[in-house]
Amino acid sequence: MRAATALEKPRQGWAGLWNISFGFFGIQIGFALQNANMSRVFQSLGSSIDDLPALWIAAPLTGLLVQPIVGHLSDRTWLGRLGRRRPYFLAGAVLATIALLAMPESGGLLMAAMLLWMLDASLNISMEPFRAFVGDMLRKDQHTAGYAVQTAFIGAGAVAGSLFPYVLDHLGVSNLAEPGGIPDTVRFSFRAGGVILLLAVLWTVLTTREYAPEQQAAFHEAEASEASAGARSLAARSKWSALPWIAAGAFAASVVRFWNLEKEVYLLGALLAGYGLAVLAAIGLARAGRGTSMLAGIVGDFSGMPPIMKRLAFVQFFSWSALFIMWINTTPVVAQYHFGSADPASAAYQAAGNWVGVLFSVYNGVAAIAALALLPRLAERLGKARTHAACLVLGASGFAGFMVTRDPDLLIVCEIGIGVAWASILAMPYAILASNLPQSKLGVFMGLFNVFVVLPQLLVATVMGSIMKAFFPGEPIWTMGFAAGTSLVAAFASLRLGRDV
């Protein structure tokens, strides 16, 4: 007998697209305030510059752990009128607001570090379900538009959050502080950001209503048999399959001293070994008939990712590698090669730092515009995969431009290409996933996809420094060449996703 055709979700107008993603504007303000000001807060409270990487490691590590867990739980949540994803939006926003309000009042370095963990965890609790929420609420032919609108809010939130202290300074708020204190510009920025974050998320919570589980089942009838596939494949695996992960972790930790690598590589080793132990435990749970447990479910889903997600993970890994290289190295590159000073105490170096803030605002602003004005039209003509490849090539051109121009004003042109790539990185992979993943596991797969955002960050923060010391000492400009190269690798990998993607 022929299966019944699944129902189609109603088409959303622009007001619906706005309401679905407006909360992300507030979440991104929180991330922007964190990224732009936490090193300043830590150093104001007495941290040395050498300790900053260890304090900052909270951000990627928190996302790596929180997002798959929240995704797994939100797939299985239904709280009546509050729905499936919105409880996590709201809980994360309330906790993040508390952290933002408390951060400037930190009495010491330990309190600030703990609040950073709380802030990053809370932002991730809110952010992860937002990715799946677009897929929940929209039909497939609107996924590109939905993630484009979300990307526009990300860009707008990043610009607003990054410029808060700068604007307050120009409005006459004090940008100075007593030793061990935090400037009023930062203090008021965190307070305003906390309030805006909560209000923006409340807007989405109050103006949207999720489809009930019965409705989602009617929209996606063919997916019922996929719910336990990960657990079945996990139960059939040998426990010896966990050994390579544990061995890789032990090897990574053992070579730190031998090759004089950065100490953060120890964390990479711990993560690899930890995943191996998780695989071992998950196999045991699956064989004992507890395949529906959270650990078995997450590990089974990670090891049983759909083919499209595996290919897209490769694209994601290299595209985010380029981004992290840029974020870490743009200031020293611009200072040394475009402002003529590598001395952090010099006025030229500080002027370069201010200009980098302008450049970063440019690429975020370009991303917000490109997400709405360019990406949907390109995707309609070229397909999502080819659109992503074209945008990544533009990004590679922008990175390469840093190596061929010495005029700091011309770097704005480079940032335009990078901004288009950034828009696509934030939109296209998620639009592709939402159109090709089982709806019943959209949350956990979106959370697991974050692994391929975090791993490049950990590798760039550790291995890149060792490469530069060995081959290009004192020449940070070559990092932009690496960024261009990895972006091109991601572009070619995107073309291999298939013509119909």
| 142-151, 158-167, 174-183: least confidently modelled range | 174-183
Q: What is the model's pLDDT at position 190?
A: 92
Specify the long-range contacts of residues 92-95, CB closer than 8 Å, at least 24 apart: 92/122, 92/123, 92/124, 92/125, 92/126, 92/127, 92/201, 93/23, 93/26, 93/27, 93/122, 93/126, 93/197, 93/198, 93/201, 93/202, 94/198, 95/121, 95/122, 95/125
Specify the long-range contacts of residues 5-11, CB closer than 8 Å, at least 24 apart: 6/218, 6/219, 6/220, 6/221, 6/222, 7/218, 7/219, 8/139, 8/219, 9/137, 9/138, 9/139, 9/211, 9/219, 10/139, 11/139, 11/142
Does residue 4 carry a pLDDT above 80?
A: no
Q: What is the model's pLDDT at position 332?
A: 86
Tens of pLDDT, residue by residue over 9-48, are 899 999 999 999 999 999 999 988 887 777 667 767 776 6
Nearest Cα residue to 213 out of 34, 490, 440, 388: 440
Q: DSSP label at 51?
A: G
> How far is residue 50's CA from residue 290's CA, in Å, rounded to a whole number?
45
CA-to-CA dists, residue 415 to 102, 221, 258, 333, 483, angstroms: 34, 45, 39, 14, 13
Q: What is the model's pLDDT at position 63?
A: 79
Q: What is the model's pLDDT at position 455?
A: 83
Report which listed range, 53-57, 204-208, 259-263, 331-335, is most confident.
Answer: 204-208
Q: Which two tokens stand for residue 256?
A: 């730190």
When pLDDT is cut at 50, 70 and 90, the band that residue 180 belongs to is: confident
Does residue 176 carry a pLDDT above 80?
A: no
Does residue 227 carry a pLDDT above 50?
A: no
- More confident: 464 or 183: 183
> How far is residue 27's CA from residue 97's CA, in Å, rounded to a whole number?
10
CB environment 105-141: b (16+ within 10 A), e (fewer): ebeebeebbebbebbbbbbbbbbbbbbbbbbbbbeee
User: Where does 291-441 have alpha helices with state H?
Assistant: 294-303, 307-338, 347-373, 375-382, 384-404, 411-436
Average pLDDT over residues 103-121: 86
- More confident: 252 or 4: 252
Using DSSP, state whether 501 is helix, strand or coil.
coil
Tens of pLDDT, residue by residue over 313-372, are 999 999 999 998 888 788 888 989 999 888 876 778 878 877 887 888 899 999 999 999
When pLDDT is cut at 50, 70 and 90, the band that residue 1 belongs to is: very low
Rounded to 10 degrees, the C-alpha dihedral 123/126/127/128 comes to 120
Average pLDDT over residues 180-195: 88
| 11-25, 210-224, 269-283, 404-418: least confidently modelled range | 210-224
Return mean pLDDT, the chain: 86
Average pLDDT over residues 102-123: 87
Does residue 224 carry a pLDDT above 60?
A: no
> How far is residue 248's CA from residue 264's CA, in Å, rounded to a whole number?
16
When pLDDT is cut at 50, 70 and 90, the band that residue 232 belongs to is: low
